């Protein structure tokens, strides 16, 4: 438990003055994500500790360098969880890295994304000012919602000091069902179910098999299980399955071949099969489609854009180029001005999100 606010403020100030780029880094478990990291490593792991945890308020405030595993264990003791199931992608993942990358796991489609659970942040901006936005309450519309905008900004707007996250009770019951279905049928079915009051909490389709997780009150889960049919997985098998998908330790992710890129396609859940070369794993009720492919980036981006979505080159791509879907000019202009607003010297994770940002 230690508070490095003052050191960090000094460090950013000095870096801004000298124009020394800083690569803000926690456990380094997500070093692979985004464009090529640049700059002197700014290790956040010294700024740790839970600032406050109020189970009955459903809020935990924690310093950025705190290991994510520690936070999860703490809230689990009180029967609570981070409902967005953030991936760790390795031992040593920190809360700061989790928020900065903004990635969510299997429960996202029904429980909400990481950004939906961010109630407040404290950051050091690129001038070395300590700023606090949002707070620890559920509803707060005082000022622009900067804290949610910090989530997923890949450390390019500020160094996250602390974050307040909403936590939720863990579901009482959970069960996983398996169905043999082709891609098109699986997407259809997932969207049909999505329109019904069913306690779906995760889904995953690959190679003709659809897995569906149900979570909630005992009675609701049992009733849904009877209604939906399918084959019930043993609890330990199901737990491993969702863990492997969340952490990408599943064979699908682990065996990305040389020359293949792992694409993350974000689409309207009901979008038709993408029909791109390569192998897929579909999550989030159809809204997240992983694609291992050696097809040209332009082909993939165009197809996904035509379907109303966007594509991220998640792993195995040339990181000097555009990893994230290029933005239309007026939106890009807003991005540049926001970067300028938070980090006028351009020293915080420069270029990690887009060229110059």
Partner 1 sequence: MNIAADPVVLGEQEADFSSVDKARVVEALARVLPAGALMYDAEDLRPYECDGLSAYRQMPMVVVLPMTEEQVVAVLKVCSEIGVPVVARGAGTGLSGGALPHKFGVVLSLARFNRILHLDAHARTAVVQPGVRNLAISEAASPHGLYYAPDPSSQIACTIGGNVAENSGGVHCLKYGLTVHNVLRVRGVTIDGEVVEIGNHGLDAPGYDLLALMIGSEGMLAVVTEVTVRLTPKPQLAQCVLAAFDDVIKAGEAVAEIIAAGIIPAGLEMMDQPATAAVEQFVHAGYPLDAKAILLCESDGTPEEVAEEIERVRAVLEASGATEIRVSRDEAERMKFWAGRKAAFPAAGRISPDYYCMDGTIPRKRLGEMLEAIQEMEGKHGLRCINVFHAGDGNLHPLILFDANQEGELERAEAFGADILELSVALGGTITGEHGVGIEKINQMCSQFTRPELTMFFRVKGAFDARGLLNPGKAIPTLNRCAEYGRMRVSNGHVPYPDIPRF
Nearest to 270, CA basis, from 111, 109, 115:
109
Helix (H) or strand (E) holding 15: helix 5-18
Nearer to partner 1, 182 or 308 (CB): 308
Nearer to partner 1, 79 or 182 (CB): 79
User: At residue 220, what are phi and psi to the nearest 5 degrees?
Assistant: -70, -40
Which regions of the chain does DSSP assign to beta strands (E)? 22-25, 40-43, 50-54, 59-63, 80-81, 118-125, 130-134, 158-166, 168-169, 173-180, 200-206, 209-216, 231-232, 261-266, 279-283, 288-293, 310-315
* Nearest distance from C-beta of residue 182 to partner 1, angstroms: 18
324, two tokens: 């994230």
* Rounded Cα distance, 272 and 51, in Å: 46
Nearer to partner 1, 125 or 250 (CB): 125
* Nearest distance from C-beta of residue 194 to partner 1, angstroms: 6
Nearer to partner 1, 170 or 279 (CB): 170
* Rounded Cα distance, 329 and 164, in Å: 33
User: At residue 53, what are phi and psi to the nearest 5 degrees?
Assistant: -140, 120
Nearer to partner 1, 89 or 133 (CB): 133
User: At residue 165, what are phi and psi to the nearest 5 degrees?
Assistant: -120, 140
* Nearest distance from C-beta of residue 240 to partner 1, angstroms: 25
Residues near 308 by Cβ (< 8 Å), separated by ≥ 6?
Answer: 267, 268, 271
What does the angle CA 121 – CA 327 – CA 21 come to, to the nearest 5 degrees? 55
Nearer to partner 1, 71 or 357 (CB): 357
* Nearest distance from C-beta of residue 310 to partner 1, angstroms: 5
* Nearest distance from C-beta of residue 12 to partner 1, angstroms: 13
* Rounded Cα distance, 199 and 330, in Å: 40
Nearer to partner 1, 40 or 129 (CB): 129
Nearer to partner 1, 28 or 165 (CB): 165
> How far separated are the first and last CA of the chain, in Å rounded?
32
Nearer to partner 1, 27 or 61 (CB): 61
* Nearest distance from C-beta of residue 258 to partner 1, angstroms: 26
* Nearest distance from C-beta of residue 108 to partner 1, angstroms: 7
* Nearest distance from C-beta of residue 92 to partner 1, angstroms: 25
- Coil/strand/helix, residue 311: strand
């Amino acid at each position: 438990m230690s508070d490095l606010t003052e050191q960090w403020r000094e460090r950013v100030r000095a870096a801004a003055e000298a124009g020394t780029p800083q690569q803000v880094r926690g456990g380094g478990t997500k070093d692979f994500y985004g464009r090529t990291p640049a700059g002197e490593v700014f290790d956040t792991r010294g700024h740790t500790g839970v600032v406050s945890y109020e189970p009955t308020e459903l809020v935990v405030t924690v310093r950025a360098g705190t290991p994510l595993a520690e936070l999860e264990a703490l809230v689990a003791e009180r029967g609570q969880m981070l409902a967005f199931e953030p991936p760790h992608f390795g031992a040593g993942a920190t809360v700061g890295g989790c928020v900065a990358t903004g990635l969510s796991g299997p429960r996202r489609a029904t429980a909400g994304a990481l950004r939906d659970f961010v109630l407040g942040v404290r950051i050091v901006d690129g001038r070395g000012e300590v700023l606090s936005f949002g707070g620890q309450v559920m509803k707060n519309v005082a000022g622009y919602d900067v804290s949610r905008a910090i989530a997923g900004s890949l450390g390019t707007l500020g160094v996250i000091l602390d974050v307040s996250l909403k936590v939720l009770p863990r579901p009482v019951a959970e069960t996983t069902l398996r169905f043999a279905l082709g891609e098109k049928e699986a997407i259809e079915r997932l969207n049909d179910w999505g329109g019904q009051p069913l306690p779906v909490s995760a889904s995953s389709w690959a190679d003709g098999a659809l897995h569906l997780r149900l979570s909630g009150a005992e009675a609701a889960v049992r009733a849904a299980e009877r209604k939906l049919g399918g084959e019930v997985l043993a609890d330990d098998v199901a737990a491993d399955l969702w863990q492997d998908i969340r952490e990408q330790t599943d064979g699908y992710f682990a065996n990305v071949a040389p020359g293949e890129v792992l694409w993350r396609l974000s689409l309207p859940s009901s979008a038709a099969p993408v029909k791109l070369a390569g192998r897929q794993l579909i999550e989030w009720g159809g809204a997240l489609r992983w694609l291992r492919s050696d097809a040209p980036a332009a082909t993939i981006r165009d197809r996904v854009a035509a379907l109303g979505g966007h594509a991220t080159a998640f792993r195995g791509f040339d990181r000097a180029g555009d990893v994230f879907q290029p933005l239309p000019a007026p939106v890009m202009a807003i991005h540049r001005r926001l970067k300028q607003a938070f980090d006028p010297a351009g020293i915080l994770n420069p270029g990690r999100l887009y060229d110059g940002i």
